[in-house]
């Protein structure tokens, strides 16, 4: 398949592995930001192809994983309201809230639907004018433009039965939080290519300088990741800091300006709590006051919902790269994909689930 | 070659210590998804409750001796939505599915039953079309639909039409198809491209439009199996049609039953371009997507090439490939050599695959 097979070529992969082996002389700890990248690393076996000197730790870039428990509980409370049509991306449905998950709400008779685009949820609202249609607007900068577009369109269409439950988070503040922790062990980042396709990478330049680290904007195919690892390790070995762009076929420094403008029109920056990490200042989006009519939290008065995490779960340490999933005492025992204690075991992109699925035997 | 008896005593652990049915107070969709929850339901509730050696073999159908004849007996229910889909409909699927379950026992199918559960209000034209499709499919296979039943449920209590078919077939002497016969060194063959059925259904159900339409692979595999058995006989060890849960679940089940490992080779597994594209787009793994006309065969290593010849000389096996081998390895563990030469585990899925956010 074009634009896919080229980035999975075994000969090129071997050449990149050889280059990484040749150029790695010291132990380094790298973090890939995005859960999609974690998934590719384990699915294609890259974690076992690269030298032992390189430790890959897996970052917080899985929207399913970092959406706070109380936000899941709010989603469940809204989805259970009679007459509500609750639309969500598929992988949010299995995330456990305090007591249950959205799939269970569906099995109880709730109208919970998987959509592939937020605009599908807008269409559902148009087709069902007598129903409240609520879309679970989660994600990083990547899904912010389509989610903003959905709200913008709903406003233009004058839809009164459409709202969004927003749980948007941003990558740079999370990187700052990880690097600023006294326990930090990350020496170089593979930044998430699709986030940068929207936002560009100018935001990462001051972070790289302030913390004296290399950051490599990296794609999602196996060769992208091997190439990103190679560039980052070379920079570390040569003592270079700053941002390099491995994913130049999709990313330019300034990003996608029209997408950024739309996001800025609909959303504003706010403090957000991250599941497993805690509150990070200015780390997310909420709707601007002019769009507050589309805010599901206000419409359904679920702002007061609070929740507590399982004390056994070490998701916070996992998501900050302090521990590897299989070193958690609950991994594969009390915590499995069937009975997840924390979000990284739920999503296919979660680091714990990826370890459980692809690497358990090692 | 030593072959285990086809009917053996049940695994004592199944009766005495049923797997927990997780913590679900009610039935979830994933209990029917072919993954771990399905397995827990079957091995934790049904097998210990009905407890008999024939059932405990956990094959696609039961094989037993009656009146001197070796019979295969199987049943399956069809609840596909929509009832007409690209490449087939619920009627032809209900014939092919049960015919295939019999074929996977090494049987020649001879007769089917047909149970219809109809929802009040189903257009008569739809019912006629489904029945005509069943008739055509049964004729093409050479089986008769010899008994049946019809029930009608209130509007809103069904999805238009559900069909149950059961079938019986005859297993020739000397043919022993059993997942426990997979042994290290055996070759794993697949008769063609995977994931067509699941993606075809998903695309119509979810209104996804792809540049080239994707059609279900729904087809009867009895003839392909008959030719394979004619040519290879006892060298055919295991047959499976990887339906729900796909190739990943089928190989996991075989590995677990046989107490062996299976190593798959990702680049050898045929997947059509449109299906690969759809899976990439939706974040689905084609290894877990359903097929309705594909044969997974495990044969003795020395017979692998002739098995491939047999499959490829048949219209339904033109794109057959050797996709892996049975290995000593860890019992019940399926691994896969990735397209770039890495290695990973192919696990049984917990629930149904869900499309990813990004």
| Closest Cβ opposite residue B341 in set A13, A92, A360 | A13
Each residue's pLDDT tens digit, A215-244 = 999 999 999 999 999 999 999 999 999 999
| Closest Cβ opposite residue A337 in set B23, B208, B350 | B350
Inter-chain Cβ pairs, chain A and chain B, closer than 8 A: 121
Q: Are residues B152 and B252 in the same domain?
A: no
CB proximity under 8 Å: A 50-89 to B:
63-64, 89
Residue-averaged pLDDT of chain B: 89
Q: Are residues B215 and B332 in the same domain?
A: yes
Confidence of residue B358 (pLDDT cuts 50, 70, 90): low
Q: What integer pLDDT is reported at residue A174 of this predicted model?
A: 94
Each residue's pLDDT tens digit, A55-99 = 999 888 888 888 988 999 999 999 999 999 999 998 888 888 888
Q: Are residues B141 and B158 in the same domain?
A: yes
Each residue's pLDDT tens digit, A199-216 = 999 999 999 999 999 999
CATH number at residue B244: 3.90.650.10
Q: Are residues B203 and B257 in the same domain?
A: yes
Each residue's pLDDT tens digit, B117-151 = 999 999 999 999 999 999 999 999 999 999 999 99
Is A13 in contact with B333 (Cβ distance < 8 A)?
no
Q: Are residues B195 and B330 in the same domain?
A: yes
| Closest Cβ opposite residue A89 in set B22, B267, B357 | B357
Structural domain total, chain B? 2
**Which of B267, B340, B348, B349 to mutate against chain A (most A CBs within 10 Å)?**
B340
Confidence of residue B23 (pLDDT cuts 50, 70, 90): low
Q: Are residues B323 and B305 in the same domain?
A: yes
> Minimal CA–CA distance to A339: which of B34, B23, B28?
B23
Each residue's pLDDT tens digit, A260-282 = 999 999 999 999 999 878 899 99
| Shortest Cα distance, chain A CAs vs residue B345, angstroms | 4
Q: Is the ipTM of this complex over 0.85?
A: no
CATH number at residue B141: 3.30.1330.10
Q: Are residues B200 and B338 in the same domain?
A: yes
Is B330 in contact with A361 (Cβ distance < 8 A)?
yes
| Shortest Cα distance, chain B CAs vs residue A13, angstroms | 6
Residues 6 or more apart whose CB falls under 8 angstroms from that of B87 comprise B196, B197, B200, B215, B216, B217, B218
| Domains within chain A, CATH numbers bracketed | 5-62+171-245 (3.40.50.11750), 65-170+255-299 (3.40.50.11740), 327-357 (no CATH)
> Minimal CA–CA distance to A272: which of A288, A256, A283?
A283
DSSP string, B236-292: EEEEE---TTHHHHHHHHHHHHHT-EEEEEGGGS---HHHHHHHHHHT--GGGS--S
Q: What integer pLDDT is reported at residue B349 of this predicted model?
A: 80
Contacts of A147 in chain B (CB under 8 A): none
In a domain, B335, yes or no: yes
Q: What integer pLDDT is reported at residue A361 of this predicted model?
A: 46
Q: What integer pLDDT is reported at residue A205 of this predicted model?
A: 98
Cα dihedral across residues A253, A259, A261, A263: positive or negative = negative
> What does the block give as tokens for A73?
């509980």
Distance of CA B352 to the CA centre of its chain: 16
A56-70, A156-170, B243-257, B312-326: least confidently modelled range: A56-70
CB proximity under 8 Å: B 121-140 to A:
none
Q: What's the mean pLDDT in B205-217?
A: 82
Each residue's pLDDT tens digit, B185-203 = 999 999 999 999 999 998 8
Give yes or no for B340 touching A (CB within 8 A): yes
Give yes or no for A131 touching B (CB within 8 A): no
Contacts of A361 in chain B (CB under 8 A): 330, 333, 335, 345
Each residue's pLDDT tens digit, B291-322 = 999 999 999 999 999 999 999 999 999 999 99
Over 60: is that where the pLDDT of A136 sits?
A: yes
Each residue's pLDDT tens digit, B41-51 = 999 999 999 99
Q: What are the beta bridge partners of residue B150?
A: B116
| Closest Cβ opposite residue B36 in set A10, A103, A338 | A338
CB proximity under 8 Å: A 313-342 to B:
336-339
| Closest Cβ opposite residue B358 in set A94, A142, A356 | A142
In a domain, B167, yes or no: yes
| Closest Cβ opposite residue A90 in set B28, B339, B355 | B355
In a domain, B266, yes or no: yes
Q: Where does a domain end: B155, B173, B191?
A: B173
Assign residue A221 a region: left if phi > 0, alpha if psi is -120 to 50, beta otherwise? beta
Over 80: is that where the pLDDT of B8 sits?
A: no
Range of the domain at B70: 63-173
Q: What's the mean pLDDT in A282-311?
A: 92
């Amino acid at each position: 398949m074009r634009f896919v097979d080229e980035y999975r070529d075994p000969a090129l992969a071997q050449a990149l592995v050889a280059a990484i082996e040749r150029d790695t002389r010291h132990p380094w700890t790298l973090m890939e930001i995005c859960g999609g990248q974690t998934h590719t690393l384990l699915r294609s076996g890259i974690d076992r192809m690269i030298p032992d000197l390189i430790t890959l730790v897996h970052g917080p870039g899985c929207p399913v994983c970092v959406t706070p428990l109380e936000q899941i509980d709010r989603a469940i409370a809204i989805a259970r309201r009679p007459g509500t049509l609750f639309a969500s991306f598929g992988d949010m449905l299995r995330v456990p809230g305090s007591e249950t998950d959205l799939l269970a709400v569906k099995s109880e008779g709730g109208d919970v639907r998987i959509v592939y685009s937020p605009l599908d949820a807008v269409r559902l609202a148009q087709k069902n004018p007598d129903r409240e249609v609520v879309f679970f607007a989660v994600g990083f900068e990547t899904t912010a433009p389509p989610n903003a577009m959905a709200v913008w369109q709903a406003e233009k269409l004058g839809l009164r039965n459409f709202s969004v439950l927003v749980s948007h988070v941003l990558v740079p503040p999370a990187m700052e939080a990880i690097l600023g922790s006294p326990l930090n062990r990350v020496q170089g980042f593979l930044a998430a290519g699709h986030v940068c396709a929207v936002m560009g990478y100018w935001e990462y330049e001051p972070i790289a300088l302030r913390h004296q680290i290399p950051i490599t904007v990296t794609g999602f195919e196996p060769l992208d990741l091997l190439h990103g690892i190679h560039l980052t390790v070379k920079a570390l070995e040569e003592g270079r800091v700053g941002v390099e762009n491995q994913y130049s076929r999709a990313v330019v420094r300034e990003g996608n300006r029209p997408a950024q403008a739309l996001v800025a029109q609909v959303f504003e920056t706010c403090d957000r709590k991250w599941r497993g990490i805690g509150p990070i200042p200015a780390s997310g989006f909420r709707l601007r006051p002019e769009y507050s009519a589309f805010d599901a939290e206000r419409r359904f008065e679920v702002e007061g919902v609070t929740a507590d995490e399982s004390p056994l779960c070490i998701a916070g340490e996992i998501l900050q790269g302090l521990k590897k999933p299989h070193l958690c005492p609950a991994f594969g025992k009390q915590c499995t994909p069937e009975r997840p204690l924390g979000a990284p075991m739920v999503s296919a992109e979660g680091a714990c689930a990826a370890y459980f699925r692809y690497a358990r035997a090692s | 070659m030593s072959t285990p008896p086809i009917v053996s005593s049940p695994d004592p652990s199944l009766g005495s210590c049923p797997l927990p049915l997780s913590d679900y107070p009610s039935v979830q969709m994933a209990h029917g998804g072919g993954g771990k929850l399905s397995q827990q339901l079957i091995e934790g509730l049904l097998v210990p409750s009905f407890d008999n050696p024939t059932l405990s073999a956990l094959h696609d159908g039961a094989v037993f001796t009656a009146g001197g004849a070796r019979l295969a007996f199987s049943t399956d229910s069809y609840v596909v939505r929509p009832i007409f889909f690209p490449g087939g409909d619920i009627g032809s699927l209900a014939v092919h599915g049960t015919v295939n379950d019999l074929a996977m026992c090494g049987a020649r199918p001879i007769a089917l039953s047909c149970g219809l559960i109809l929802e009040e209000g189903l257009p008569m034209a739809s019912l006629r079309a489904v029945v005509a499709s069943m008739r055509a499919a049964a004729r093409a296979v050479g089986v008769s639909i010899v008994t049946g039943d019809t029930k009608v449920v209130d509007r809103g209590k069904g999805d238009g039409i559900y069909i149950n078919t059961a079938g019986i077939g005859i297993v020739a002497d000397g043919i022993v198809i059993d997942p426990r016969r997979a042994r290290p060194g055996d070759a794993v063959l697949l008769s063609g491209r995977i994931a067509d059925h699941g993606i075809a259904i998903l695309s119509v159900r979810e209104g996804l439009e792809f540049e080239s339409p994707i059609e279900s692979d729904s087809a009867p595999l009895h003839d392909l199996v008959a030719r394979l058995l004619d040519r290879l006989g006892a060298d055919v060890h295991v047959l499976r049609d990887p339906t729900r849960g796909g190739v990943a679940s089928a190989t996991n089940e075989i590995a677990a039953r046989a107490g062996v490992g299976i190593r798959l080779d990702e680049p050898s597994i045929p997947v059509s371009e449109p299906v690969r594209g759809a899976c990439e787009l939706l974040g689905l793994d084609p290894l877990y997507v359903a097929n309705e006309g594909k044969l997974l065969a495990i044969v003795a290593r020395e017979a692998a090439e002739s098995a491939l010849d047999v499959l490829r000389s048949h219209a339904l096996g033109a794109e057959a490939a050797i996709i892996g081998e049975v290995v000593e390895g860890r019992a019940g563990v399926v691994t896969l050599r990735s397209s770039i030469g890495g290695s990973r585990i192919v696990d049984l899925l917990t629930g149904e695959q869900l499309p990813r956010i990004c």
